Amino acid sequence: MKKLILLLILMATITNLALAAVTVSNVRADQVADTDTVEIHYDLDFLGDSVTVALEIKEGTDAVSSASATGHIGSGITKGTNRKITWNAAVDWGDWNGTTNMSFLITATSYDPLLQLDKLSINFGEVLVGQSKSINVLVSNPGGGDLHVSNITVPDGFSLNWMSATIASESSKQLQVTFQPTEWIAYSGDLSIYSDMTGGTATCTVSGIGGISTTRPLGGDLTAIGWFQVNSRWVRNIYADGAITMSDQNTGLIWVYDADANGYAEWDAAKSRCSGLIYAGYDDWFLPNIYQIQAMYSQKGVFKDVKEAFYWSSTFDTPDSDYRWLVDMRNGTAYNVYYWTFVGRVWPCRSGQ
């Protein structure tokens, strides 16, 4: 048996943005006593399912065959510590003689698409309702194959500048996340990326708070503590107890913001529910007449949870009539129905002047 003097060289072939897709470490090689066999041990870590490991052997600058190498070499090698390759020098290099210097180059390559995000959480802080703030997330593919992003989901209040993309190996793409709150509440949830990745991180927590302006705009309710100017006609009012209403600068009416908050009822119960309502500090709510409720069809986009259903009005043709008017919020059509057996939605309003 001849003695090999072993010089070790190690390499991980794929890196990107200082994030190693494959890491080979703690490499050591020893000749088995009284044999021509060399055992090469190494630790292997990576994102994904498996990698392809290759062994290159040289005497000085001359290549030496590694065909007899067995163990943790070739395709389908999984991560772990103390991976072992066994090489028979006599089989692959039969004409060598004497003591010699050998170098061993271990190369671990991933051919899988991977996914990494440069942020695991984003906190937008407080953003005024109706305004927006954007933060970028770097979506990287440090893997060896193209990454196909098929969809990205975000919670309510957040939006993205792209939803699907192909990201080449060792490439990245900026994803712009925008927070635009519509209510005076806290928002949170996961940004989730759906792709053909075989490893990596696919979620990022996003959060933010919808803030309110403390400067009252024209038409805003005086008793509110915060306001949001929705458009030239509507002002959203926020109260200390959490109630939210909408002031109509065209009519002077104030409406309950959540159009489904008061449920549904027969006509008599609907009127009683409105007149008995205490909300936002007021007790003078009423069931709107047919003209008032019908006008809400074209404005329902600025309210919360307007159902595609029938909404009662207080209007009837004569006091002794068994029919009452209501509006279909699917198309804005008014109907005069037999009210004793009909159930409709209840949407209270009050005079703000």
Same domain, 96 and 140: no
Residue 271 shares a structural domain with residue 177: no
pLDDT of the residue at 164: 95
pTM above 0.75, yes or no: no
Place of tokens 């999984």: 78
d(CA 271, CA 274): 5
Tokens standing for 185?
């509440």
- Give the pLDDT of residue 3: 57
Decide which of 109, 141, 173 is a domain's last residue. 109
Domain boundary among 211, 230, 248: 211
SS3 of residue 254 by DSSP: strand
Predicted confidence (pLDDT) at residue 11 exceeds the cutoff of 60: no
Q: Are residues 61 and 129 in the same domain?
A: no
Answer yes or no: do 65 and 144 share one domain: no
Confidence band, pLDDT 50/70/90 cuts, at residue 155 = very high
Instruction: Report whether pLDDT(95) > 80.
Output: no
CATH number, position 150: 2.60.40.10
Q: What does the pLDDT read at residue 20?
A: 46
Considering 47, 77, 109, which residue would you say is the last residue of a domain? 109
Is 72:134 a contact under the CB 8 Å cutoff?
no
Q: Which pLDDT score, from 0 to 100, does residue 136 have?
A: 97
Please report, for the domain that includes residue 23, its CATH number.
2.60.40
Instruction: Identify whether 279 is part of a domain.
Output: yes
Same domain as 93, residue 120:
no
Q: Which of 47-51, 115-119, 157-161, 283-287 has the lowest mean pLDDT?
A: 47-51
72 & 157 share domain? no
Q: In the predicted model, what is the mean pLDDT of residues 129-135? A: 92
The range of the structural domain enclosing residue 165 comes to 116-211
pLDDT for the residue numbered 21: 63
**Distant-in-sequence, close-in-space partners of 293: CB < 8 Å, separation ≥ 6:** 311, 312, 313, 326, 327, 347
pLDDT above 90: residue 276: yes
* Amino acid 160: pLDDT: 97
Q: What is the pLDDT of residues 210-268, one digit of tens each?
A: 988 888 999 999 999 999 899 999 999 999 998 999 999 999 999 999 999 999 999 99
In angstroms, rounded to a whole number, what is the distance separating the alpha carbons of residues 71 and 91?
A: 16
Name the pLDDT band for 275 (thresholds 50, 70, 90).
Answer: very high
Token look-up 């994803």 returns 175
In whole angstroms, what is the distance from residue 134 CA to residue 124 CA?
A: 8
- β pairing state of 37-46 and 80-88: antiparallel
Listed residue (144, 152, 141) closest to 115, CA to CA: 141
Is it the case that residue 178 has pLDDT exceeding 50? yes
* Residues 104 and 169 reside in one and the same domain: no
Domain count, the chain: 3
Binned at pLDDT 50, 70 and 90, residue 14 comes out as very low
Band (pLDDT 50/70/90 cuts) for residue 183 is confident
Query: Which of the four pLDDT bands, split at 50, 70 and 90, describes residue 93?
Result: confident
Check whether 15 has a pLDDT greater than 60: no
pLDDT tens sequence across 35-60: 888 999 999 987 777 888 999 998 88
